[in-house]
Chain A
Amino acid sequence: MPSPSYDICHPPLRTDGTAARTPLPASMTGMTTTTVATATDVPVVAGFEQVSKAYGNVRAVDGLSLALRPGETVALLGPNGAGKSTTLDLLLGLKQPDEGRVTVFGTGPREAIVAGRVGAMLQSGGLMEDVTVAELVGLACSLHPRPHPASEVLARAGITQIADRKVNKLSGGQAQRVRFALATAGDSDLIVLDEPTTGMDVSARHAFWATMREQAGQGRTVLFATHYLEEADAVADRVLVLHRGRLLADGTAAEIKARAGARRVSFDLTGAVDETVLAVLPALTSLDVSGQTVRIQSADADATVHAVYGLGLYPRNLEVAGLGLEQAFVAITEAEEAKRA
């Protein structure tokens, strides 16, 4: 899945004028970051402080610290078993941490939910059977301390047409939209979504994220777990990469890509290729020579290419392309695996 051009870093798609944070310096490359917002002037929506949760011998979440700030749209990425679901369960008070502390709006998760500040949809969240979509959404509205009108909630989730249908007669994608309606039944400040677009087709997915951006645009904080990396790339203005219950990376999609050696540089050389000469190129994260073709991953493609010419080489068929978030993600988690091995 090659990324065709330089221009793959989507700007954060936020409508409230909040700009993406400045990329972190390249020195963070290769380091495990567990950055916690320490700025005292920024209120914390949700915070994890050294939180651990184990099942038997498996540490599902391992000393996790992080802070969500108001108005952010945050993607939680990680391979299966990385601890995404456990992290969300801890955040929502469905599980209790073995160690550490989880706070939501300065209180425990349950208190925040009771106050109506958190709306959430879980992948594992079942729906009440033998009732209609409208009845179920009406229930969610009645239970919320600051409810939206049910008709509005139905319309926003795109389920007005199926309002009279029985909940147990819905397709997977429709059920997801009903779950989304339940999560947005009231005026919550934090919306938590676990794999929200599972079972939706491409157009439904686009419509879903358009709605979600609108929610974020109203100043809500959105946290979502996904395994569709392009969603994280296009929608999130902050990406958390979770691996073996620990936070491997925390930054914008662009920063994550930069961290993994964001650019791929490839070119052909005439004559014998001396790898040792190439190895001194700046900002290299990987070097692969096969025949006349050189393939490089670079944290700073400009500097690398400049240095290639500086060596007196004449690269032909020069190509510079960005890594997709997916490749970056694979690179980061593989590097971590290699470190452990």
Chain B
Amino acid sequence: MTGILASRALIKLELARALRNRKFLFFSVLYPSVIFLIFAGSSGTGEKVGGTGLTVATYLMVSMASFGALTAVLMGNSERIAKERESGWVRQLRLTPLPGHGYVLAKTASAAVVSLPSIVMVFVVAAVVKDVRLDAWQWLALTGVIWAGSLVFAALGVAIGYLASGDAVRPITMIVYFTLSLLGGLWMPSAGFPRWLQDIAEWLPTYAYAALGRAVEQSQAPQARDVAVLAVYFVLFAGGAAWLYRKDTLKA
């Protein structure tokens, strides 16, 4: 808690900066909705995705909301951290009383502030354009689950930001981002994959992430396995980020 108190000045400034960056904001908030419309565009309103009982639009809504949150937190964290490590701003911050994790906290907070509207935007577009209807509790639970779940990828973004430097960070982030999105079934149901690929996909964090949202849509409790998979990845990513952070601190 002391970390949050001491870091609030930086969090405030990071938020102001994130909201000022119109290009990033526009991209992060609208992009998932646009892809949603493209993918869901051709499907009829009653068309179901096999084995789920959900309409194509409802199914894709969770995929794209998850994808949007993933975009905001992963891209936001990794590239900024790598750049600021290189420019020496991270070093300069270490000459202030700001606790070390305060920087990561501020970065993650500003990414989360961008990811929330991107999630809500997909919901609004889905409801208005594709007539997706859910109970009030489901909308709220979906927002909460997808927003909270994005922390896993925020941690991954931090880890990549401390792992890669300079020119390498963008390609690495892109590869991770597209692999996770595609194989995790955020763009198309993984049921269409060959068997061996499906076996891999099931263990990806993005797969479990979208499964959480789908469980809410099906009025079910999230599957214990998905929660466990996400928890393990969170520990892995956060632990890796902490380890890389400390390594960077000693090297800087």
Contact = CB atoms under 8 A, between A and B. Distances in A.
Given A96-B250, A131-B13, A144-B97, A122 B88 contact: yes
Residue among A95, A126, A139 with most chain B CB within 10 A? A126
A94 interface: yes
B83 to A, nearest CB: 8
B13 A145 contact: no
A100 to B, nearest CB: 17
A174 to B, nearest CB: 16
B96 interface: yes
Nearest to B252: A94
A118 B95 CA distance: 8
A135 B252 CA distance: 25
Nearest to B9: A142
Interface in B79-121: 84, 86-92, 94-98
A130 B9 contact: no
A128 interface: yes
A94 B96 CA distance: 12
Contacts of B88: 122, 124-126
B96 A140 contact: yes
Contacts of B6: 143
Interface in A284-337: none
Nearest to B83: A129
Given A96-B250, A139-B9, A128 B94 contact: no
A139 B96 CA distance: 10
A279 interface: no
Interface of B: 6, 9-10, 13, 16-17, 20-21, 84, 86-92, 94-98, 250, 252
27 contacts: A92-B94, A93-B94, A96-B250, A114-B97, A116-B97, A118-B95, A122-B92, A125-B88, A125-B89, A126-B84, A126-B89, A126-B91, A127-B92, A128-B13, A128-B84, A129-B87, A131-B13, A131-B16, A131-B17, A139-B10, A139-B13, A140-B96, A143-B10, A144-B96, A144-B97, A145-B97, A182-B95
